[in-house]
Amino acid sequence: MALTGLIFNIQKFCLHDGPGIRTVVFFRGCSLSCYWCSNPESLDGNPCEDCREYSPEEVLKICLEDRPFYGESAANASGGVTLSGGDALCQWEFSLELLRLLKTEGIHSAIETSGYASGHIFDKVIDRTDLLLFDIKHHDDRRHFEGTGVQNGLILSNLKSACKKGKDLLVRVPVIPGYNDSAEDARGFAALLESMGIGRLQLLPFHQFGERKYDLLGLEYSMKNVPQLHPEDMENFMGIFTKQGIDCFI
Ligand code: SF4
């Protein structure tokens, strides 16, 4: 049977999903169910009219249309293609083939992931990926489960494996009010990063970009009236990482 991937969007000229100008491929499906998820249309079971099956060659063809722009960004920030979602690890066989095709064309690849997959699948996928954008939701296992529906053991062991391999890696923490934004949380995250020798962290302050999507999809949204976080709200939180010698930025 032909290999296909369930994709709900292919967005062009993106500037915030890896270096340079990028094409972002949004995969349907995620193993987590974060209650603040800003892409509810990506989750299995939720309606998504734009979702359809693509062959890896079809996705590659769409990406190749943008190739002239990949080099048109700041020096040493060559653009390329980012696999996002949802989580591309949920459709790992399709991801592997797409990554192989991108490599054949010499196109830089990145993956935005929660890192939740069995170790051998994770290793296979990252071996074909140039840059890992690895999101950690909580340093504490119990709290991780409460917020996302899964424990963080597998995620942390995959992160460790990526570090051991010396992968080009950027760890990110989505900062969610009332969930992982306390000083104690910052210290917990900092200790975790230190234990793995990770000295760089991007914080993703909570935003409300997903609110309208919940309304349109007729889904309940538990973060409805929660105010967004702005850079000025993050100073103390960031300061805790900086004090620990971690290069922390938004
Ligand atoms: S990992 Fe990302 S895509 Fe998956 S549920 Fe959480 S926020 Fe949504």
- Residue pLDDT, tens place only, 54-65: 999 999 999 999
Q: Are 102 and 56 in contact (CB under 8 A)?
A: no
Q: Tell me the CA–centroid distance for residue 147 and ligand 1, in Å.
A: 10
Q: Are 97 and 56 in contact (CB under 8 A)?
A: yes
What's residue 50's pLDDT? 87
Q: Is the CB of 32 under 6 A from ligand 1?
A: yes
Q: Is the CB of 31 under 6 A from ligand 1?
A: no
Q: Is the CB of 246 under 6 A from ligand 1?
A: no
- The pTM for the full model equals 0.96
Q: What is the mean pLDDT of the chain?
A: 95
Residue position matching structure tokens 């190739």:
67
Helices (H), the chain: 56-64, 67-70, 92-104, 119-127, 141-148, 153-164, 183-195, 211-217, 235-243
Q: Is the CB of 91 under 6 A from ligand 1?
A: no
What's residue 94's pLDDT? 98
Percent of the residues in the chain that have a pLDDT greater than 90, as a whole number: 92
Residue with CA closest to ligand 1 atom 3: 86
Ligand 1 site-directed mutation target among 44, 148, 222, most atoms within 8 Å of CB: 148
Q: Tell me the CA–centroid distance for residue 33 and ligand 1, in Å.
A: 6
What's residue 75's pLDDT? 53
Question: Strands of 52-54's sheet, edge to edge?
Answer: 52-54, 5-14, 22-27, 80-84, 108-113, 131-135, 168-175, 200-205, 247-249
Q: Is the CB of 158 under 6 A from ligand 1?
A: no
Angle (nearest 5°) at CA 85 between 22 and 23? 15
Q: What number of other Cβ atoms are within 10 A of residue 8's Cβ?
A: 19
Residue with CA closest to ligand 1 atom 6: 34
Residues 217-249 have pLDDT tens digits of 999 999 999 999 999 999 999 999 999 999 999
Residues 152-188 have pLDDT tens digits of 999 999 999 999 999 999 999 999 999 999 999 999 9
pLDDT greater than 90 at residue 45: no
What's residue 47's pLDDT? 81
What's residue 116's pLDDT? 98
pLDDT greater than 60 at residue 74: no
Q: Tell me the CA–centroid distance for residue 68 and ligand 1, in Å.
A: 31
Residue with CA closest to ligand 1 atom 7: 37
Atom index in ligand 1 nearest the CA of residue 42 equals 3
pLDDT greater than 70 at residue 196: yes
